[in-house]
Amino acid sequence: MLKVLKFGGTSVGNLERIQNVANIIKKIKDEGHDVIAVVSAMSGETNKLIEYAESFSKTPKLEEIDMLLSSGERVTSALLSIALNEQGYKATSMSGREAGIVTDNSHTKARIESIDSSKMKKAISEGNIIIVAGFQGVAMNTNRVSTLGRGGSDLTAVAIAGAIEADVCEIYTDVDGIYTTDPRIEPKAKKLEKISYDEMLELASLGAKVLQNRSVEMAKKLNVNLVSRSSFTPEVEGTLITKEENIMEKPVVSGIALDKNQVRVGMYGVTDKPGIAASIFTSLADADINVDMIVQTVGVDGATDLDFTIPTTDLEICKNVMKNFEKDARKIDYNESICKVSIVGVGMKSHTGVASKAFSSLAKENINIRIISTSEIKVSMIIDEKYAELAVRSLHEAYSLDK
Amino acid sequence: MLKVLKFGGTSVGNLERIQNVANIIKKIKDEGHDVIAVVSAMSGETNKLIEYAESFSKTPKLEEIDMLLSSGERVTSALLSIALNEQGYKATSMSGREAGIVTDNSHTKARIESIDSSKMKKAISEGNIIIVAGFQGVAMNTNRVSTLGRGGSDLTAVAIAGAIEADVCEIYTDVDGIYTTDPRIEPKAKKLEKISYDEMLELASLGAKVLQNRSVEMAKKLNVNLVSRSSFTPEVEGTLITKEENIMEKPVVSGIALDKNQVRVGMYGVTDKPGIAASIFTSLADADINVDMIVQTVGVDGATDLDFTIPTTDLEICKNVMKNFEKDARKIDYNESICKVSIVGVGMKSHTGVASKAFSSLAKENINIRIISTSEIKVSMIIDEKYAELAVRSLHEAYSLDK
């Protein structure tokens, strides 16, 4: 098999850990696989360099930031190659440029446009393990080094796996896979063996520290089999994120996600004026505010109430936008003491009664549901934040996820 | 004027010093000059990376060392560009690759083969200050990053100055120029305004911490006007190193150099066998030992004594080589308590009595001269090490270098 492996900053955080990663790679190579490993900068390095830059300028030129930040991954790739060579393995480092990665011209948040994998293919055919400096490429117009922004090394790995048609792309972090829910909340949470791309995207909060949505979306698009596993316990099989067709037994519910970073905005007694809702949500979108759930209720007296949720980080901007609409409502309030609990599963498509089981499960605990929204594979509920953990645990049990 | 400036690791050793370098560059730009600045890695960075590499392997692949080490200069070049941009100056960093520097394939000690300066010329014509990551290029065969070895950033600066036909190449260090002798030995030492390439090469020990011979040789070959000056006192004019024709008043003696890192090897009563000396020096050359001065004396009894000097660092290897010749001499001994004092000056060519003044000056102090060697512009003398400073001071006075 041809395997693309990705090791994040924590996995290569010091010299001992880089040696540990070399050992993982050796074992996989010894099993007869070809290996391309994508590495991040040693943890802390990138932040240190950003601090350096910010000491000179609050608005540095983005091309220079890319020149600066791309150095960290180069260091790790060379060190890991040296460690492998010392053990008698043929290994070669490659910068993003050498690996043939071409991006658009959006420095510091570039998107990969194409990968010329010929150099990598040649190196692999000569028996080399390739260590690619992640997070970087070359901007197509200027030919200068570019970086891919947050989660960039994951993207590098997934894109290479797609371009070179690797059998699997394994993302190594300090977590050994995706769980049915956050094990810190529900110790009975179980590691999932397989999960579909779409489920993973909906369970983002469970994988937030493990897989960024941007990488999962790219894996879905390029049909790359993604594995989330740990560099600290490499003997433990991780979770395979793959296309739905590859999952034979489709569980009705795969996992329970919790998101506490939500604010509920309530507009009461909204003026009965055509297009008022459209006007509000256009203004919020223009301000780059990501509105999540929306509920509109019309009371018996004809007065309309509008409820919606936004990320906590957007609260101040949202308040500013909403000032323009104060005249259109009797009252506007903001409730930060809420959270969103979601149940996710591809099996929902073909099963009925999934949502109602959630509602009754919460009702049994006297938890009021403020807003509900559903998609093909997800049911999300806004509840009071104080019930967050209780709700997760009762839903986890209701769908027998600990079995 | 088009000026190429070079700032070494100490000059960019921390963020404050990088800001200081930005200020120097701004001032030169404000005076109406075009500027290309070549920078080293922040002091300590390269050693740290070498330590990292050595923790994995005592014999790392040289290509990987180059990938590793070249990152430090990239960081400095980006930071300096950011600092200049913040002050409203157009500046752009360039890696060795971007600056068009192509080297041979001797990784970690590559030689510059060619420089395609078109990209630099374009950036300059657009009003940019260019900050080049020194010490690196791209190996011509593999297209991988290469580094130039010790003094590599100086070489980068000189080679760029040559390729782009700059008016001057200013090498900034923590020393403000070349002195008539080491001021720590003779406080009356005076800074030289101008000196020829050849004198500078002979005075290597005076410039050792300032200019490496490799850079001076390249400057001579490319006819680059080199200036040695300090980034800590940029208002002080440095020393111009240029071709002899540019120096109107040629001093008979320009400076006094002292080299304590010499060992005198004495072979007494050498067998009168044809080719024995040739055989010894061939063996030493094969062992990469740099033999400096050689004296052969034939006594009245026909027995030959052979004296030569080598760098102290080569002593152990030399002893090993000399074991093969023990049978050819009555006795071989090694004297580390000697030093070499040299007087250097292009004016010697057209003046007589220069050497005899040196001899009588030392004689006056009862300093015995063990070995003498002369070249067109230099007289070197081996004396007992305990007289080193005294000899320097009396020669300095004898040639009125403090005037």
Question: Euclidean distance between the first and final Cα of chain A, in Å?
Answer: 33
A77 touches chain B (CB under 8 A): yes
A322-371 pLDDT per residue, tens: 999 999 999 999 999 999 999 999 988 888 888 999 999 999 999 999 99
Test A75 with B18 for CB contact under 8 angstroms.
no
CB contact under 8 A, A82 and B57: yes
The pair of structure tokens assigned to A17 is 């850990």
Residue keyed to tokens 């992640």: A134
Q: What is the mean pLDDT of residues B372-391?
A: 93
CA distance A71 to chain B (A): 5
pLDDT for residue B301 is more than 80: no
Kindly state whether B19 is in contact with chain A, defined as any CB-CB distance less than 8 angstroms.
yes
> Which tokens go with B392?
């320097």
- Would you say residue B315 has pLDDT above 80? yes
| pLDDT-derived band at B207, boundaries 50, 70, 90 | low
Closest CA in chain A for residue B61: A82
pLDDT > 70 fraction of chain A, expressed in percent and rounded: 99
pLDDT at residue B271, rounded to an integer:
81
Provide the 10 A C-beta neighbour count for residue B398. Answer: 17
**What is the domain-level CATH number for residue A110?**
3.40.1160.10
* A–B CB contacts, 8 A cutoff, strictly below: 110
- Taking a C-beta distance cutoff of 8 angstroms, is the pair B150, B212 a contact? yes
pLDDT in tens, A285-316: 999 998 989 888 887 777 789 999 999 999 99
The complex scores an ipTM of 0.84
CA proximity to B25, closest of B62, B96, B100, B77: B77
User: Is residue A41 assigned to a domain?
Assistant: yes
Q: Does B61 touch chain A (CB under 8 A)?
A: yes
* pLDDT given for residue A274 in this prediction: 78
In a domain, B117, yes or no: yes
Q: Which chain A residue is nearest to residue B87, measuring alpha carbons?
A: A57
CA distances from B315 to B259, B263, B278, B329, B335 (A): 15, 7, 19, 19, 10
Nearest to A71 among B52, B71, B98 (CB): B71
Q: Give one DSSP letter per residue of B201-229, joined into a string.
A: HHTHHHHTTT--HHHHHHHHHHT--EEEE
Does some domain include residue B115?
yes
pLDDT in tens, B69-101: 999 999 999 999 999 999 999 999 999 999 999
B152 in any annotated domain: yes
> Tell me, what's the pLDDT at B210?
79
Distance from CA of A178 to the nearest CA of B (A): 33
Take residue B273 and report the two structure tokens written for it: 């066998």
User: Which residues of chain A have a CB within 8 Å of the CB of B129?
Assistant: none
Residue A397 lies in a domain: no
A45 inside domain:
yes
Distance, in Å, from the CA atom of A249 to the CA atom of A199, rounded to the nearest integer, reads 14
Cα end-to-end span (Å), chain B: 33
Is residue B130, in this structure, part of any structural domain at all?
yes
Question: What is the number of domains present in chain B?
Answer: 1
> Chain-centre distance of CA A273, in angstroms?
40
- B93 contacts in chain A (CB < 8 Å): 63-64, 67
CB contacts of A15 in chain B (<8 Å) are: 52, 55-56
Beta-bridge mates of residue A228: A171, A239
Assess if residue A57 is contained within a domain: yes
Domain that holds residue B140: 2-173
